[in-house]
Chain A
Amino acid sequence: MAVTFKSLETILERYPPSPEHLISALQEVQAAFSYIPKEAMTAVCDHLGVPVSRGWAVATFYKSFRLTPRGMHEIKVCLGTACHLKGGARLVEGLERDLGVCRGHTTKDLSFDLDTVNCLGACALAPVVVIDGNYQPTATHRKLKKMLKEMQKA
């Protein structure tokens, strides 16, 4: 979605102009645009009456906020304790090599985001990887590689 005055307006009108809504409003901005665009941050802070510096402080403190556009597909590798014991770290390393990006980054062609997550609370499925919201139970590097290839083709 393009960052337009209109699209921001519809988000902002749901929040009374009070600082406590900063996190919720930014979450909604991110849901709409996939990241926090600069223009949106200014608009949100103006609306809620908080300094823009505080807006950026919040957006950089909390891990879930992104300041750059996301890739088309989102890969999240769980590194919770159970997944760690069952080789989650090796999966991320493998994906880093395959995609040519470090964790927390997006491939140059904006097709994949590679992220890690502390724990998804799905420990029976360890090691678990979530691709575009779908859980891949007891993931192996081979299975993932195959999936990525198919996604690249599509």
Chain B
Amino acid sequence: MAQVSTATRFEDFRLPSAEALAEYRASILAERDPNRTVIIVCHGTGCIANGSPKVAAALRKAIAAAGLGAQVIPEIKTTGCHGFCSRGPLVILQPSGLFYQKVKEADVDDIVQTTLLEGKPVERLLYTDPRTGEPIPHDYEIPFYKYQQRVVLRNIGKIDPLDIRDTIAVGGYQALAKALTAMSPEEVIAAVEAAGLRGRGGAGFLTGRKWRLAVENARKSPGPVYVVGNGDEGDPGAFMDRTLMEGDPHAVLEGMAIGAYALGAHQGFIYVRLEYPLAVRHLTNAIEQARALGLLGENILGTGFNFDIKINRGAGAFVCGEETALIASLEGRVGEPVPRPPYPAEKGLWGRPTIINNVETWANVPQIIEKGADWFASLGVPHSTGTKIFSLVGKVNNVGLVEVPMGITLGRIVDEIGGGVPGQDRFKAVQTGGPSGGCIPYELKDTPVDFDSLTKVGAMMGSGGMIVMDQRDCMVDVARYFLHFLEEESCGKCLPCRLGLKSMLEYLDRFAKGQGSQQDIDDLHSLARAIMKGSLCALGGTAPNPILTTIQYFKDEYLAHVVDHKCPAGVCRDLITYSINPELCNGCGLCARTCPQGCISGEKKKPHTIDASACIRCGMCMDECPVGAVLVA
């Protein structure tokens, strides 16, 4: 990946004023030929894992070898995640928008020969609409992108996150310049309030109101104020914040700088989850480049405003996404939450007013300043304005990151953007809101996705994870999975959470074994309600959600476990048996070789059988079988 050596390149370049930023932008744009072909190679975590760096290197080599004339040599740009992760590695040619998917090193010569030299698309690399079977050549025509409305993600996939000039070329830091030169701190807060922006991290608190609280508290007791970007994205199955920090780090920095100006803060922190090393790298690089240009640090754009940002890496504790625990962690302590109030906006980091917003919330701020509160409020629905990024994962055709206006229905996200469930005509449930969210059944597919509607059906917006489940997923097992996760991550400070989650998990463990009674299901339900009321922080307070929603919408499945001792989805190990369908089995012997118990036998090329008395139901034979002959019931 091209590293811009900021220290030398930008050293004499501190931008002394907002006008200088505009001139600098104009000079960058003037240097660029809008008609020049730019080949974009996605370098998000998913595409990198599938080999996109090799594709980029091969492209560079092939283009050099092709001996194109100097004026037509395309630029190769590596960008953050485009969101369409299940089709990676992605290669997009701009300005035409020609979209190639699942590109391998071996395809590179063809791209250079057919597309660059002959000007024709390489048919086999195009995306094919699974419904019509027709190839779709351009990214903007693909349903996955077509139905999205990309506001926060608009630059990702277009800019090189390691080169600040790309960000400035697309208008980055314009909003900061506007805020610093043309708006008072009060006006900035008023704009965020009028926009109706709500926190994207989970609770959905009004951002403007939080800011105002902090300002009022700071006025009462003079001293430092802090802003914090929460990038401790702990929800399993969610990667919005990672993509944002990796793909457009400057949007987060700019938003925080604007917030700091409004609040009178001079120091900011970004708390990044340990598992995101690439995000740390990109943010660090972005901070260095912004500092070199005088967009962070002292006397920003010559306005006399000072603000700098430090990155803190998490150390692997889910509870640190909770704001009081995050503060404890920033102070170098064990990440245990404390009761609120006082809220961090009153007493936060080192006892001072502190604003903690999710990084996605921060990335919305520059847009509100630039385009106005009215524009922002016109997106989405009343009380849930703007757009929201969701990570659409699980049993869905188009796995990836989608940004949609609030209020779009669940069914449209899964079916139109996600392309439906592989091999089945409908989903069974969609789990939103992370481990402490809820499972929404297919029958409620017309539920609008906004803060209040999701809460009404017992789920929640959370940070934006959206996990699609099909008929092969057991709801008791899913509830058990989330409870197990939360029980492990409970910090142990308050009793309802520490012991309550453990005891709820014991109920579910028994259900999964086919033990328990109908009374137990009711007891579990009332225990869940008690834990909700009694817990100190949101971890315990929302932990019962997966249980409550699965009992509410899938009670028959619970009954099947405890009354009939059956797991209808074929997941819960104590209630299933594996067998081999003799009509499908071709006797290849793969299952027999992989079985850790050695309990599968049969002659070569003849149907095999499983000795059920020795089977530990590990499911390896099923994973291994090339013809799908292993059955579970």
Residues of A within 8 A of B (CB): 19-24, 26-27, 48, 50, 54, 57-58, 61-65, 79-82, 84-85, 87, 90, 93-94, 97, 117-126, 128, 134-137, 140-142
Asked if A85 and B274 make an inter-chain contact with CB atoms under 8 angstroms apart, the answer reads no
Quote the shortest CB–CB distance from B278 to chain A (angstroms).
Answer: 10
Is the Cβ of A119 less than 8 Å from the Cβ of B275? yes
Q: Nearest Cβ in chain B — how far from A52, in angstroms?
A: 14
Alpha-carbon gap, A125 to B88, bound state (A): 10
Closest-by-CB residue of A relative to B84 is A124
B239 at the interface (CB under 8 A from A): yes
Q: List 9 A-B contacts (CB under 8 A).
A: A19-B332, A26-B315, A48-B332, A58-B315, A81-B237, A81-B467, A121-B239, A123-B391, A141-B620
Q: Judging by beta carbons under 8 Å apart, are A21 and B46 in contact?
A: no
Which range holds the interface residue count of chain B?
Answer: 35 or more
Given A22-B332, A79-B236, A117-B275; A85-B473 close (CB under 8 Å): yes
Q: Does B225 contact A (CB under 8 A)?
A: no
Residues of A within 8 A of B236 (CB): 79-82, 84, 118-119
Give the distance to chain A from B159, nearest Cβ to Cβ, in Å: 20
User: B49 near A: Cβ within 8 Å?
Assistant: yes
Task: Beyond A81-B393, A90-B619, list 6 extra A-B contacts (CB 8 Å).
Answer: A58-B315, A82-B393, A94-B596, A117-B275, A125-B50, A135-B48
What 5 pairs between A and B have smallest CB-CB spacing? A124-B85, A121-B239, A135-B49, A62-B315, A63-B316
Indicate which residue in B315, B395, B489 contacts A64 across the interface (CB closer than 8 Å): B315
Whole-angstrom distance between the Cβ of A99 and the nearest chain B Cβ? 13
Q: Which of B233-248 contact A (CB under 8 A)?
A: 233-239, 242-243
Q: Which residues of B pack against A, CB within 8 Å?
A: 45-46, 48-50, 85-86, 88, 233-239, 242-243, 274-276, 312-318, 329-335, 391, 393-395, 399-400, 431, 435, 465, 467, 469, 473, 481-482, 485, 489, 491, 594, 596, 618-620, 623-624
Kindly list chain A residues whose C-beta atoms are within 8 Å of the C-beta of B620: 90, 94, 141
Contact A121 B275 (CB under 8 A): yes
Please, which residues of chain A bring their CB within 8 A of the CB of B400?
A: 124
Closest to B624 in A: A142
Q: How far is the CA of A24 from the CA of B274 in the complex (A)?
A: 11
Query: A126 — which chain B residues lie within 8 A by C-beta?
Result: 393, 399
> Which B residues lie within 8 Å of A134 (CB)?
49
**Considering the chains assembled together, what is the distance between the CA atoms of A87 and B477 in angstroms?**
13
Residues A124 and B88 in contact, CB atoms below 8 Å apart = yes
Whether A65 contacts B88 by the Cβ 8 Å rule is no
CB proximity of A121 to chain B, nearest CB, Å: 3
Chain B residues with Cβ under 8 A from A90's Cβ?
A: 618-620, 623
| With A62-B335, A94-B618: A118-B393 Cβ-Cβ less than 8 Å | no
Residue of B nearest to A137 (CB): B49
The reply to whether A125 and B46 form a contact with Cβ atoms under 8 Å apart is yes
A24 to B395, CA, bound (A): 38
List A contacts of B235 (CB < 8 A).
119
**Given A27-B315, A141-B594, A121–B233 Cβ distance below 8 Å?**
yes
Would A124 and B467 be within 8 Å (CB), given that A64-B316, A81-B394 are in contact?
Answer: no
How close is A103's CB to chain B, nearest CB, in angstroms? 12
Does A123 contact B237, Cβ atoms closer than 8 Å? yes
* Contact in complex: A61, B46 (CB < 8 Å): no
Option from A20, A81, A94, A97 in Cβ contact (under 8 Å) with B330: A20
Assuming the contacts A24-B312, A64-B274, A141-B624, asked whether A124 and B485 have C-beta atoms less than 8 A apart, the reply is no
Is there contact, CB below 8 Å, between A124 and B618?
no
Residues in B neighbouring A93, C-beta threshold 8 A: 618
Query: Do A20 and B332 have beta carbons less than 8 Å apart?
Result: yes
- Smallest Cβ distance from B100 to chain A, in angstroms? 17
Residues of chain A within 8 A (CB-CB) of B435 are 81
Q: Which residue of A lies closest to B489 (CB)?
A: A118
Q: Which residues of B contact A79 (CB under 8 A)?
A: 236
Given contacts A121-B239, A121-B275, A141-B623, contact A135 B594 (CB under 8 A): no
**Given A81-B236, A85-B394, A120:B275 Cβ within 8 A:** yes
* Most B CB within 10 A of own CB, among A81, A93, A135: A81
